[in-house]
Structure 1
Amino acid sequence: MTRVLLRASAAALLLLSTVLVGWRILRPAEVLDTTTAAYPLEVVTAPGVTGRIPVAPLIVDDRLRVYAAKNQVRADEPVYGKAVYTTRWSLRRWPEQLSGVVAEGTTVVSRWNDGQVIALDGRTGKVLWRADGPDAPDFAGHRTGAAVVWNPPGLRIAAGIVAVTEDQNLLGYDLSTGAQRFRVTLPAGCADAFTTTGGAYVCATGAYDLATGQSVANWPAGPFTPLGCQVAHSNCAGLRDAAGQGWLLGPALRRATALDSPDATVAAGLVVSAGAGTVTASADGTAPAWSWAGQARVLGGTSTTVLLLTPEHWLVGLDVQTGAERFRYHLAFGKEDDEWDIGGLMIAEHYMAVERLRKDGPTDPESPIYYYSTDTVLMAAY
């Protein structure tokens, strides 16, 4: 009888210990790991491929790489690293899921499925502010997290405002303080929005001032095609309206006939077209400023360079003033082949990240052969 009681007691203790361990591991928790290390200096390396990593980074201030996981946002350095390195800082929230991340300057803003909007100091990982908002979609970043850091659902940024949408609600938070600046109800059909360099939130039904949330008057009719956008469909420099007419975006709309062409976009402040074996650029959207002979896709631009990708996967950088080639190199890691297509892309001032999908591969991101390789994201410098 004593042995039976001892066995029963031992089993009960074991069960209790298992429950306690499970609770400690799985209980709701928020864990913030910050750093006191010196903020890394900005380093501009020679043009070329610098690394190959398995996850898509949000490049912050040309110094850090910020990654998204289902329950965590984290950063590493250096931005030109060949691999993913030891975490510099991280925020983990369990069981909440990370819905999206945007950044401006050194401020990194994360949105979670429970509605929390949390701003972190990219230099240290410390919380700058947090705000309550509407529930957000669950994590949908698949293996690389690219959709969460490069095109987060319902999360945009421009003009010092973080714009959050849920159904027909648009909320604007001050980037520096987290104070809610406005909350407005949008008309039906106001989806797939983007923000502009002039501080407007634009969707199919119109545009809204990010300073006030009020509708912008005298806006062309949508739906619109955003052009020359930065990461997260934010700070777009141009658009085409429902009639196919091109406009440059800033403090005010400016008609640009060169943007009427379907192969035209805005890069490095220029209207750039790539067609018929020639890339042409215009400063004002009318008279050409320079041209470059060759087949290429316009990827985007920086303050000094227009970035092109040739059919053979050569990255070409053209001087924004003259169109002269500043560099040209094969966009591949080592002896990799060119059997890939661009899935996602982020262009910063001196560095670029490219998510690669297998050419003619399956359309299901969960397929083991959907991505080009295990380390499918290329890091490149220019």
Structure 2
Amino acid sequence: MLIRTSLALVVAVAAALIGWRVLAPAEVSSTVAGPSPVAVTRSPGVTGRTNQAPLIVGDAVRVYASKRQTRADTPVDAKSVMTAIWSLRRWPQQLSGVVAVGDTVVSRWADGELIALSARTGKTVWRVSTGIGAPAFDGHRTGASTVWAPGDLHTGDGAVLVGGASRVNAYDAATGALRWSEPISCGDAFTTAGGQFVCTEQAFSLATGKAVTGWPAGPHTPLGCDVAASACGGLRDAAGQGWLVTGARPERSAVLDQQGSTVAAGRAIAPRPGAQVLGASQGRLVLLTDDRHLRIADAVTGAVSADFALAVDTEKLTWKPGLWQVTDHWVAIERLAADGPASPDKPGHYFTVDTVIIAAI
């Protein structure tokens, strides 16, 4: 009887130790072991498709988000997701958002940690505890909202801005030093190309966090933004009037009054019949046509330099765009089923398994 009791105790202790090793809080980081990734450029055209949305950084790496991990692969023109060259996993914490400033990738976690990694090596550059809790992971299957539209996480003027219920902190993207912290209660925030942090009703200086005057009445609708609702070139005010916000003061723009107008390459762009402006690349407009072609056109003359179908092999062109990213040389677009359910968690929401298409521009 004693032997059986002892064996049972040993088994119970072993099970507890195994459970602790599996479930105990843990952080695992792996960094680049081989050569540093290099930027890639290609002639315009589709290069691949992935099942997750990549944050393209420096035209050299693709950064992905999942519930408890951020990782990167390379090269950007790979036909599918490749083996990770670096990764950061934090159990049981959830990844809330990812942004990039230059070659620095900054991840925000639900426990308030802000961790900056080198995009090319995965090594930690700096790390701070913000004291501001972050939303849980909501990127669904592709992680698109986590890398392209993270909540309460923005960039501007070389800083990373972290928002909460009643406070906004700005950290230097290169060092992690706290630039400013202000008691700002903010909703639907974005940053501007002119150096402002804009909340529902008010605008603040990105340099100091102090309120700025002379802004049109909110709530504001941002226009012509980069990923993470950052570096927006324009907005519409509460009355629906358009403004360019590429400088220190808003500049009235009647062109931006029109639905479907936007800002690209520093210019107010009128609606384009049969096409949606996704952004700008080196002074060129990047447009998605109604028949799902990607068209590259001069921002001033409108001259088209490239036009190609956004499909791989025999794929149909019957999808609708979700979120996307435009860089100097690349575009990545999340494709949704044209008549699929609205919820990303329901079958049939996405166009296909490898639903993100990547193209050189």
Task: Sort the TM-score into its range (normalised by shorter chain).
Answer: over 0.9
**Equivalent of residue 211 in structure 1, options 207, 213, 229:** 207
Identity %: 50
| Structure 1 equivalent of residue 77 of structure 2 | 80
Aligned partners of 1:207 and 1:215 also within 8 Å: yes
1:135 lines up with 2:133 in the alignment: yes
Aligned partner letter, 2:153 = L
1:40 lines up with 2:37 in the alignment: yes
CA distance in 1 between counterparts of 2:182 and 2:126 reads 22
1:254 lines up with 2:251 in the alignment: yes
Aligned partners of 1:102 and 1:108 also within 8 Å: yes
Map Cα deviations across residues 283-333 of structure 1 (whole Å, 9 max, x no partner). Answer: xxxxxxxxxxxx212121111321112211111111234321111110111
CA distance in 2 between counterparts of 1:332 and 1:254 reads 39
Aligned partner letter, 1:305 = R
| Structure 1 equivalent of residue 123 of structure 2 | 126
Residue aligned with 1:15, SS: helix
Q: How does 1:148-227 map to 2 (within 5 A)?
A: 148-187=146-185, 190-227=186-223
Aligned partners of 1:316 and 1:328 also within 8 Å: yes
| Structure 2 equivalent of residue 330 of structure 1 | 309
**Equivalent of residue 280 in structure 2, options 301, 316, 324:** 301
CA distance in 2 between counterparts of 1:87 and 1:7 reads 47
**Equivalent of residue 238 in structure 2, options 224, 237, 242:** 242
| Structure 1 equivalent of residue 227 of structure 2 | 231
1:355 lines up with 2:353 in the alignment: no
How far off is 1:256 after superposition? 2.0
How far off is 1:270 after superposition? 2.4
CA distance in 2 between counterparts of 1:179 and 1:310 reads 43
Aligned partners of 2:258 and 2:271 also within 8 Å: no
Residue aligned with 2:331, SS: strand
| Structure 1 equivalent of residue 89 of structure 2 | 92
CA distance in 2 between counterparts of 1:178 and 1:100 reads 16
**Equivalent of residue 113 in structure 1, options 110, 114, 123:** 110
Deviating more after overlay: 143-152 vs 245-254: 245-254
| Structure 2 equivalent of residue 378 of structure 1 | 357
CA distance in 2 between counterparts of 1:250 and 1:42 reads 28
Aligned partner letter, 2:50 = I
**Equivalent of residue 63 in structure 2, options 63, 66, 78:** 66
Residue aligned with 2:247, SS: coil
Structure with larger Rg = 1
Deviating more after overlay: 225-234 vs 296-305: 296-305
Residue aligned with 1:217, SS: coil
How far off is 1:269 after superposition? 2.3
Aligned partner letter, 2:244 = L
Map Cα deviations across residues 317-354 of structure 1 (whole Å, 9 max, x no partner). Answer: 11234321111110111111122111111111111111
TM-score where L is the length of structure 2: 0.96
Aligned partners of 1:41 and 1:63 also within 8 Å: yes
Aligned partners of 2:246 and 2:266 also within 8 Å: no
Deviating more after overlay: 99-108 vs 357-366: 357-366
| Structure 1 equivalent of residue 296 of structure 2 | 317
Map Cα deviations across residues 112-166 of structure 1 (whole Å, 9 max, x no partner). Answer: 0001111111111111111111111111111111111111111011001111111
How far off is 1:231 after superposition? 0.5
Q: 5+ unaligned residues in a row in structure 2: which ranges?
A: none
CA distance in 2 between counterparts of 1:100 and 1:302 reads 24
After the TM superposition, which segments of 4 or more aligned residues of structure 1 sit over 4 Å from their partners?
none
Aligned partners of 1:51 and 1:379 also within 8 Å: yes
Residue aligned with 1:87, SS: coil
Aligned partners of 1:237 and 1:266 also within 8 Å: yes
Aligned partner letter, 2:243 = W
| Structure 2 equivalent of residue 18 of structure 1 | 15
Q: 5+ unaligned residues in a row in structure 1: which ranges?
A: 278-294
CA distance in 2 between counterparts of 1:230 and 1:305 reads 15
Map Cα deviations across residues 332-381 of structure 1 (whole Å, 9 max, x no partner). Answer: 11111122111111111111111111111111211121111111111111
How far off is 1:5 after superposition? 3.8
CA distance in 2 between counterparts of 1:126 and 1:109 reads 12
CA distance in 1 between counterparts of 2:201 and 2:322 reads 28
**Equivalent of residue 142 in structure 2, options 144, 148, 156:** 144
